Structure formats: structure tokens, C-alpha cells
Amino acid sequence: MTAPKLPLSALKGLGPARIKALGEAGVRTIYDLLMMLPVRYKDTLTLTPIADLRPGQTACVQGGIDGPPRLARFQGRTLVTARLRDETGKIRVQYFNQPWMADQLKQDQELLLYGPVTEYRGSLQLTAPSIERERGLLPVYKALPGLKAGMLGQLIGQALDHIDECVTESLPLSTRQRRQLCEINYALREIHHPQSYESLAIARRRLTFENLLMFVTAMRLNRDHVREGIPMAVPEELTQEYWSSLPFPPTGAQRRALEEIAADLRRPRAMSRLVQGDVGCGKTAVAFGAILMCIRAGYQAALMAPTEILARQHLESAQKALAPFGIRAGLLVGGMKAVERKQALSAIADGEWQLVIGTHALFSAGVEYERLGLIVTDEQHRFGVRQRRMLEDKADLSPHVLVMSATPIPRSLALVMYGDLDISTIDEMPPGRTPVSTRIVPESKREGMYRFIREEAAKGRQTYIVCPLVEESDMMDVPSAQQVYAELSSGPLSDLRLGLTYGSQDPEEKARTIADFSEGKLQVLVSTTVIEVGVNVPAATIMVIESAERFGLSQLHQLRGRVGRGGGTSWCFLMASPNERLNALVRTNDGFEIAQEDLRQRGPGDLMGLRQHGQTFPAGMKDGFDLGMIAEAADELKQLKLPGAEQDYDLVRTEARRRYEQWLNVIAMN
């Protein structure tokens, strides 16, 4: 149901600059503003005694400042430290590059502090805690470019006064009664300013279920729109011919997936299929088999990768796997020299290249295909649906689409997340893949880890060290790739050959560094997550991940998948204080199990690639979601499509269509 578009001008404190910042984030009305939901909450209701604090938790502590604070300056940085005491003990409080905090922390002052508990040299500390003025479940919003989170919260507080004017019910009464859901206005009031955990849970359930129902409905509407495709003549014996040409036998799951693809290609409707499986399960071999089928039928194929590194890796692999069949392949990526790009465009347009591998450059202006029949997208969660559609538009008839994802998820979620795709799951691992032993390494064990890296290097084994940032940041007290590289090169690993790579690095320098590591010229590669996919070095047996607590479990599992590709034991060291979340990686190497845990912890929004923007799945609603709710939403759609519920179904269908375009725009930004 369409809500009245009450303008933002009805709010106080909104000048042109802030209106522009909101507009660029898609917020143009008070209704849009109310849909900017909190990403999390500060619980200042629950106080934790200092003696009960544990590393890895975020806590609210009340106490007095024990002695005057200290302000230290070193190498252009500042550090403010103080001691907080309560009746159970004392804890160090520290602030990097916030010198003004020395004036905020006064001796004997009673304060309410909220922040993360970390460990440093065997002692606990509160790192950059906020000083809180009120008790409650306080919403925290994501800042927008040009608009701080605090100001956004103030504007939303004003917007709540207009909620009855600009928000109308979007779910039928029958659905709310069947599913025991509260009204939309109650849900929005409680999600922005919860009175209790109980009311917050009620609000979360309402909004999460609504989003799931709309998403399921939108996906089903899109799936019902069958695209006329290109029926391809795929000989039955071609699959066996392909598998026999490879140096390894396929698993049963690989055979099954390729047979399903072959059946799709033969049909007159365009294939839309997801192949999902764990890191190293052999999805790429299946994709190359599909590409062979397409080219043998007389059409071109395009393989789109999220990074240039992965695109180049795919080209090298394709040339080896498809060489026996005489297939001509080429590369198209951004930043190519004008002469190279011109030659590539010509080879694509006249069909000289039967297979084109690249990044988003594959659907850029000026790219024309001779007979595009198949599109393969790798690491689907990194691509937007809109980008995939742009590539499809390069063909005269709807090409077949094959999507690959190494972020395996439970099938029930996949049916919603990829509701417009058929699903093939590769749930077997080829022989020879060695499980990676994973350990959580506290700061006190760092020197021992470096000693182990040196010992392994002497045996010819290599190490990745992954950092969350490229450069040092005043906003986050975490190690950067450049900082770690400099410190290790002149310190603990100075006797080894080190390299450094990151996403914004000069492409030629990046390619040279990766090649040197692959060829064994470098023993240690310090990098950002640019090596998450597309780097295959069998001699690399150690993965070190700095500030591991800052990564999602599925991403940590992806990074871990860079090792364990040769014989012998491989190791993944998570540099963090021990906590239950990271213990999931220690317990298992099963990507499906890890994805299930990631889903439980982070909610569906992050896994679906739906960042907060309008009516999506914000991180703050993760606790209102479970896998059972997917089945419940799917069942509700069936109820709405029964005879007699036409009016209710029309309401949901209209709203789902409206949101679908929003979702496409949101996904495209990921």
C-alpha cells in the first residue's frame, strides 16, 4: 500500500547539505527516513561488573575514574589512558587519536562507559568506549556520507512524530492474524526506540517476516516471467568426453551438476541456474564443461569474475582445461591499454574469441558479442543482479545464465536468496584436499607463531598474512597491510622474502607480486582480502588473519580456503582473543555448517548482499530471523494465492513489485 510522501522539509534542522546527503542515500521522504533502521543497539540497561568482563565482549560498565588520565604522543599519534574502578576491580580505558578525551575523563568522576573489551599483554582494557548519558536499548545507525550517525538518529526521532501520517499497513490483516504479527507502526516505533527486549523481538519478527514475504513474492514473480532462450544441441557423449580429458576423475556431485546444466541448455527457455559448493569442491571444472557445451553448439560464452586476479586465474585454467578442444579464449578487464582493448573488442565482436573472461568490463559500453549464448558469473554474492542483466542485454536472444557461489548456504535459504534460479549443490570434495587446522592465536602467542612460520619457510612452505586495511587508520586500531609488511620486513620475519599486495595497487605490480608468490620467489605474502579468491598456490600452507574478529565467518572460511591445496597439513591462525563465534571455524571445515552459523549470527541481510537501504534486511534485525521463518513466508505466499484471497494477494504482490526495483538497486551497489 503506497504511503503518503510527506517531505523531509517537515523536519527541523535539515539544511540543503543534509537533504542532499539523504537524497544520495535514497532518502527523499519521511517514510524513507523511517525505513533507515538501526544496525545495532547499545544495551546500557545491563551493567557488567569489572571482575566479570571477558575479552571479545561489548559491555556497559559503571564506575569512577581512578586517578588523572594520561595523554601520550608518539609518531604523530596520541593515546589517552585512564583507569576505571568499581567495587569489583579496575580496568584500563584507552583512546587512540582522540586527545580531547583527556579532558572528558576527570579524576573520581562517575561514568557510564560502553565499548569493546580487548586484551593487551595479558590484561583487559576498554578500547575507545563511549560515554553514555542515558540507560536503555539505544539505537545505533549507520552514518551516511555527509551525515553523522548521531544526527541521523535525531532526524529519525523527529520522523517518528509523523509516523501515522506517512506509514500505512503493508500486510493484509489475514496475514498478520495467521502469523501473529504486530501492526507496522508499532513495529517501527519499537525498532527505533525499544521499550524492552520483548517489544524489540516483536518488532523484529514483524519487519523480518514482512521482508522475507516480499522477497519470496518478488522472486516468484520474476521466476514466472520465463525468458525465451537458445536451445542448444548438446550431444550425450560430450560430458564424458570432457571429463575424460581432465587429469582427475570428477566427483559424483560434479557429474550430477553438469548433467543438470546440459538438460537446461537443451531447453527452449533460458537457463538460470546456481551451482553452489564449498571452497575447492570443483565448481570451476563444472563451469568449463558448460562453456564447452555452449561453444560446441556454435555460440560464445562469457565468464565474469569479481576481481582481475580471479579473471586472470580463470583464463589460465580455461586455457589448460579447454586446450584439447581447440577453444580460443581471451581476457577483457578494466584499465587495459587502448590498443589492447581495441584488439580485444574486435576479437569478441567477430567471434575470434569463443570464450571471453573478464570483470565488469564485459558489460561496459562498446562491447559487442557475435553470438553470446552463455553467461557464467563467479562469486555471485559479489555481483548485483542488475550487472548480470546488463551483460544479458548484450545478446540478441536471452542467453543461458550459470551462477557460481563458493559461499554455500542451506538449501532453504538458497531457495529464497536465489528464488529466480534453479539450484545445483556440489556437496562432495575431490580427493587430495587436506582439511585445514585452525587455531585462535592471542597476542601473547604471536612470537611463537612467527617462529613457526620461519620453520615452515625453511621446509619450502609459504604463508599468507591478511590484514583488514591497506593503510593505517585513525578510526580503527587494527593493523594495516602496509604497516604489517614494514614491521615484519625489518623485524620478526626480516630473514624471509616478503611481498605486499592490495586491491588499489598498480595492476602490473599486483600481478607481478602474485606471480612471484605463486612461483615461490616470495615466502610470505602480506595482503588485504584481495587474495580471497583466485589465488592458487599449493605450497602455501599457512594463513594468518589479523584482527579476525572483524571478518564474517564465511569470509574467514573463504580466506582459509587459500591453503590446504597441496599435500600435508595446512594451518589457519586467527589473530584475535578467543570467542565462541570464531570457535565455529576451529570446530569444522564444512562450509555449509559455517554458513549456517554465519546466518544465525549475522542474519539474512548480510548473506543476501542486501545492505541497509530502504526496506532491506538491516543487520540489527538478525535476531528476529531463523531458517524456519523462510518456510513460514513461503507457506504464507501459498495461502495468499488460494481462492478467495485475491484482494490480499494483490496488496502483497503490488508492494513486492515496488520493492523489487529497490532491491535490484541495493544489490547492484555491493
Q: How much is the pLDDT for 606?
A: 45
Q: How far is CA 357 from CA 344, 414, 499, 537, 544, in A?
A: 11, 26, 27, 21, 31
Q: Which helix (H) or strand (E) holds 119?
A: strand 110-120
Name the grid cell of 239. 560430458
Whether 525 and 446 share a structural domain: yes
Which letter, b or e, does each residue of 347-367 get, where b requires 16 or more Cβ atoms within 10 Å of its Cβ? bbeeeebbbbbbbbbbbbeeb
More confidently predicted of 620 and 602: 602
Establish if 628 belongs to a structural domain.
no
Establish if 53 belongs to a structural domain.
yes
Whether 485 and 351 share a structural domain: no
Q: How much is the pLDDT for 24?
A: 85
Whether 249 and 385 share a structural domain: yes
**Which residues does 519 contact at the CB level (< 8 Å), separation at least 6?**
none
Whether 394 and 465 share a structural domain: no
Q: How much is the pLDDT for 624?
A: 46
Whether 259 and 316 share a structural domain: yes
Model confidence at 435: pLDDT above 60: yes
Out of 131, 160, 176, a domain closes at 131
DSSP 3-state assignment of 281?
coil
Residues 444, 446, 451: CA angle, nearest 5 degrees: 130
Establish if 221 belongs to a structural domain.
no
Query: End-to-end distance of the chain based on CA atoms, in angstroms?
Result: 28
Length of the chain: 670
**Which residues does 72 contact at the CB level (< 8 Å), separation at least 6?**
78, 79, 80, 81
Establish if 388 belongs to a structural domain.
yes
Q: Annotate 144-208 with three-state secondary structure.
A: ECCECHHHHHHHHHHHHHHHHHHCCCCCCHHHHHHHCCCCHHHHHHHHHCCCCHHHHHHHHHHHH
Cα-Cα-Cα-Cα dihedral of 239, 241, 244, 250, to 10°?
Answer: 0
Model confidence at 347: pLDDT above 90: yes
Nearest to 483 by CA among 495, 500, 504: 500
Q: What is the CATH number of the domain that holds 306?
A: 3.40.50.300
**In the beta sheet, which residues pair with residue 61?**
113
Whether 475 and 584 share a structural domain: yes
How many domains is the chain partitioned into structurally? Answer: 3
Work out the average pLDDT over 550-566. 85
More confidently predicted of 617 and 404: 404
Q: How much is the pLDDT for 495?
A: 94
Give percent above pLDDT 90 in the chain: 52
d(CA 560, CA 594): 12
d(CA 359, CA 450): 36
- Taking only the tens place, the pLDDT of each residue in 471-507 is 654 445 567 888 899 999 999 999 999 999 987 788 7
Q: How much is the pLDDT for 562?
A: 87
Establish if 360 belongs to a structural domain.
yes
Q: How much is the pLDDT for 392?
A: 64
Name the grid cell of 636. 504464507
Model confidence at 644: pLDDT above 70: yes
Task: Name the band, by pLDDT with cuts 50, 70 and 90, for residue 664.
Answer: low
Work out the average pLDDT over 456-475. 81
Establish if 469 belongs to a structural domain.
yes
Q: What is the CA radius of gyration of the chain?
A: 27
Q: How far is CA 63 from CA 60, 69, 91, 125, 245, in A?
A: 10, 15, 10, 14, 70
Model confidence at 656: pLDDT above 60: yes
Whether 447 and 304 share a structural domain: no
- Taking only the tens place, the pLDDT of each residue in 219-236 is 777 666 667 788 999 999
Q: Quick one: angle between helices 385-392 and 646-668, nearest 10?
A: 80
Cβ neighbourhood burial of 553 (10 Å; 0-12, 13-18, 19+): buried
Q: How much is the pLDDT for 670?
A: 40
Q: How much is the pLDDT for 391?
A: 61
Work out the average pLDDT over 248-272. 93
**Which residues does 476 contact at the CB level (< 8 Å), separation at least 6?**
468, 469
Establish if 557 belongs to a structural domain.
yes
Out of 588, 614, 641, a domain closes at 588
**Which residues does 513 contact at the CB level (< 8 Å), separation at least 6?**
499, 500, 501, 505, 522, 525
Whether 481 and 523 share a structural domain: yes
CB 149 within 8 A of CB 140: yes
- Beta strands 110-120 and 89-96, pairing class: unpaired
Q: How far is CA 229 from the centre of its chain?
A: 31
**In the beta sheet, which residues pair with residue 545?**
466, 574
- Taking only the tens place, the pLDDT of each residue in 381-417 is 444 455 556 666 666 678 898 988 876 666 556 655 5
Nearest to 378 by CA among 404, 348, 352, 413: 404
Whether 449 and 368 share a structural domain: no
d(CA 190, CA 236): 59
**In the beta sheet, which residues pair with residue 356?**
302, 330
d(CA 85, CA 360): 55
- Taking only the tens place, the pLDDT of each residue in 195-224 is 999 999 999 999 989 988 988 888 777 666
Establish if 69 belongs to a structural domain.
yes
Q: How much is the pLDDT for 607?
A: 43
Whether 367 and 258 share a structural domain: yes
**Which residues does 323 contact at the CB level (< 8 Å), separation at least 6?**
none
DSSP 3-state assignment of 269?
strand
* Residue 395: domain span: 236-266+281-405
Q: How much is the pLDDT for 666?
A: 47
Residue 414 φ/ψ, nearest 5 degrees: -60, -35
**In the beta sheet, which residues pair with residue 110?**
64
Whether 469 and 352 share a structural domain: no
Q: What is the pTM assigned to this prediction?
A: 0.63
Out of 72, 100, 131, a domain closes at 131
Q: What is the CATH number of the domain that holds 90?
A: 2.40.50.140
Model confidence at 262: pLDDT above 90: yes
Whether 319 and 391 share a structural domain: yes
Model confidence at 343: pLDDT above 70: yes
Query: What DSSP state is assigned to residue 465?
Result: E
Following DSSP, what letter does each residue of 511-552 receive, concatenated?
A: HHHHHHHHTTS-SEEEE-GGGSSS---TTEEEEEETTGGGS-
Name the grid cell of 259. 548433467
Q: How far is CA 505 from CA 86, 282, 305, 418, 516, in A?
A: 49, 30, 18, 34, 15
Mean of the per-residue pLDDT values of the chain = 85
Following DSSP, what letter does each residue of 21-80 receive, concatenated?
A: HHHHTT--BHHHHHT---SEEEE-SS---GGG--TT-EEEEEEEE-S--EEEEETTEEEE
**Which residues does 479 contact at the CB level (< 8 Å), separation at least 6?**
467, 468, 469, 546, 547
Work out the average pLDDT over 109-125. 91
